[in-house]
Each structure stands twice: as C-alpha cells, then as structure tokens.
Amino acid sequence: MKVKSLNNILKSITNLVIIVLLLLSVAAWRGQLFGVGLKGDTDKNFTIDLKATDCQSILPNVSAVEKDNDQQFTLSDASNNLVGYAYAYRGELGYGGRVPVITFVDVDNVICGIILGENYESDEYLADAVKKGILTQWNGVARNQVMNTAVDAIAGATISSQAIIAGVQNSASEQLLSIPFKFWTVENVVSLALLMVLVFACFYPKKLMKYRTILQILTVVVFGFWLGRLISFVQFINWLSGGFNWQIQFVMLIVIVLSIIIPIIFGKAFYCSWVCPFGAAQELCGKACSKKLQITSKSARFLQLLRERLFIVLLLFLWTGYSFDLTLIEPFSAFSLTKLSYWSIGFASIFLIISIFIPKVWCRFFCPTGFILDWIRK
C-alpha cells in the first residue's frame, strides 16, 4: 500500500488537531475534560451535595443530612434520631465518563438502596440497566460483605453496569480498588481476530474481496449485534470529556487508533470501509437490487456539503450548552436488540431501505462520525 506524501500526512495531522480542538470545546460544556473537572475537581477532592430529598426515595424518614466528610453523610429523622448513613463515591468510568454512586445503609450497616449521581451515560442504556435491577442487587447485604456478593453486568449495558458495580464496591470498601483487567475473554479474542483479518483486507483488498460479503456479515454480527463495538460521535465526546476506560474498552482503543493512523499515513478509509457494522449492513442491503438510482455529481456534491453543514449545526447546538441524548443522532443503537425503540428502528430502517437503491447513503451524506474520519483522512 502506498504511503501518502509527507505534506499530505502533515495536512492530515493538522486536520486531526483541528477536529480534536473542536470536539474538546464541545466536551468542555460538561464541566470536565478527560475526567478532570474544569474547576479543579480531581479524584482526591471529589465532593457531592447530598440533600434530604435525595435520600427519601431510599429512606423516607430522612429529614436532615450531616456531612461527615466529602464522601460520608449521617442521616437523621425529624426527631434527630439516627436513620442511617450514605457513602458517596466519584464513580468509575462508564460509557460517558464517571458514574458517581451513593450507597445508603441503615443503622445496622446493611445496604438499603443505591442512587447514581450526575452522569453522561446514554439515558436509554442506563435506564435499561436500572430497570433490570442493577441498583437493587445489593439490598439487604451487609456493607462489609459487598465484595463477597457476586453481581453480573447487565447484557446490552455492559460498560455502564460494570462502572456501577465497581463504584458500589469502592464505596463500600472505603478505599480505591483496582478493577481486574481480563484480556483473554471470548469477546476480546473474537474481536481481535476479526480486526486482524479486516486490517489485512484493507491493505490487500484484492486477496480478500471475494470474501467481502462474509466479512461484512461477521462485522454486523460481532461488532454490531453481539458486542456493540462501534465508533460514534457520542463516543468521541464521552472519551474527551470523561476519559477512556482502557480496561473495559481495550479493543475499542485499538480500533480507534487504527481508524486514525491508517487514514493519516495511507489515506485509506479503514473504519468506514471495513469495520463499521452499519456501513456493512447498508452494503449488504444494497445487494438486494443491482440497479441503483443514479445521483448526478452536482447532487452528490450538494449532499456531501450537507453532511458538513449538519456537522457544523450539531456543534453549534452543543456549543450553546443545549443538552440531549447524543445517541439519537446516529442509527447505531438499533444494534442493541434489548433496547430497541421506535426511533432507533425507524431511523436505521429508513437508511437501510434507501441503501438498497443508493449505496451507503448514511455513510456518504449524513454520518457525523464518517465526516470526522474523512476530515482526518483528507
């Protein structure tokens, strides 16, 4: 594969710096960058303002909250009788940054409930984990027995629920516990094996082109429906704002590095052409009809400019501090079968149907993630 000229490589690096600065300016509206608060908040001086009303969903009799220190609170009723205690923890890195956890115990030091602090997890994914009981699995467990209580992550919201589990364990232990890093899992092994094949296909497309359909099916099944390992606009913002949990998202770290390095050095659209499950799904749908609608070069240019303008409009909305669930602007949540909504089904279906007649219309003319990666590549 031919390497780009030095001038073009430097231009791509410049484009990368520009796009990172633009996204950093958006991430900064969350009040932190790379998990560090812009007001000087760090892991060591994490504080939370706990009010009686925050506690009453767990302990209804609480009417007074006394702050013992930044992480511990004594809870009393209207007669100043002890009701229990609350322990706050900064939280571990989830999908959208740290997920603060507040654990409540009664006078016998038995856990009676858990609530979450302000976070930027996907509302849809987090709501699903809560609905399936991730916050109630420690109820009735003595605080000193939390580490001996086995709690499984919620399928479909693995990253968020793992952050909650680690947060509760840290909160109960009153010390920072390192999360064990398991590299040789089935998910990682399968992901890395498929990723190596896709890298080879990117560098030597003629040798594997006859297997492209099989690779696309594997990409949709493994990276899409099974593992949900997709690069997205919301992930870029989450990583820049809350930091990157490499222990949980180790494979995604490799994917994003390859998706940036290969375009910069070789000018190849590695992720969009070979790895993206939704791009692969569109190509597979396109095989249903050999006759395609012809788009004039003028129309194609207009649509390409439209993607650029939509990206700018999106940034303007976020720069103003307007808050909404960023997972809704891309159709990738349709791969999460346990959390399908009418919106995700409709959004994805529209572009999959159109892709039967117009190749990869979402990728070419609308995708903000694709725009970012294209901007870096050019």
* pLDDT top residue among 294 and 279: 279
* pLDDT top residue among 31 and 282: 282
CB distance 78 to 65 below 8 Å: no
Query: Per-residue pLDDT averaged across 98-116, rounded?
Result: 88
The answer for 244, left when phi > 0, alpha when psi is -120 to 50, beta otherwise, is beta
Residue written as token pair 């600065």: 21
Q: Residue 263 corresponds to which tokens in the numbers above?
A: 């375009």
CB distance 325 to 344 below 8 Å: no
The span from the CA of 159 to the CA of 97, in Å, is 10
Contacts of 55 by beta carbon, 8 Å cutoff, 6+ apart: 62, 65, 75, 86, 104
pLDDT value at residue 180: 55
CB distance 251 to 188 below 8 Å: yes
pLDDT digit string, tens, across residues 259-268: 999 999 999 9
Contacts of 278 by beta carbon, 8 Å cutoff, 6+ apart: 224, 230, 331, 332, 335, 348, 362, 363
Helix (H) or strand (E) holding 106: strand 98-106
pLDDT value at residue 301: 87
pLDDT value at residue 121: 75
Query: Per-residue pLDDT averaged across 50-79, rounded?
Result: 88
CA distances from 181 to 152, 248, 250, 328 (A): 16, 8, 10, 31
pLDDT value at residue 293: 87
* pLDDT top residue among 27 and 202: 202
Give counts: helices (H), strands (E), the chain.
15, 7
Contacts of 185 by beta carbon, 8 Å cutoff, 6+ apart: none
The span from the CA of 62 to the CA of 54, in Å, is 9
The span from the CA of 355 to the CA of 287, in Å, is 9
pLDDT digit string, tens, across residues 334-368: 888 766 678 888 999 999 999 999 999 999 999 99
pLDDT digit string, tens, across residues 135-180: 888 889 888 888 778 777 666 667 777 788 888 887 776 554 455 5
CB distance 202 to 273 below 8 Å: yes
Q: Residue 129 corresponds to which tokens in the numbers above?
A: 């984990």
pLDDT digit string, tens, across residues 305-322: 889 999 999 998 888 877
pLDDT digit string, tens, across residues 20-56: 999 998 888 877 787 666 655 544 445 677 888 889 9
CA atoms within 13 A on the CB side of 2: 3
Q: Residue 44 corresponds to which tokens in the numbers above?
A: 């060591």
Amino acid present at 234: V
CB distance 141 to 113 below 8 Å: no
Q: Residue 15 corresponds to which tokens in the numbers above?
A: 């484009």
Helix 6-27 to helix 250-266 angle (10° resolution) is 140
pTM across the whole model: 0.77
pLDDT value at residue 49: 78
* pLDDT top residue among 189 and 33: 189
How high does pLDDT run on average in the chain? 85
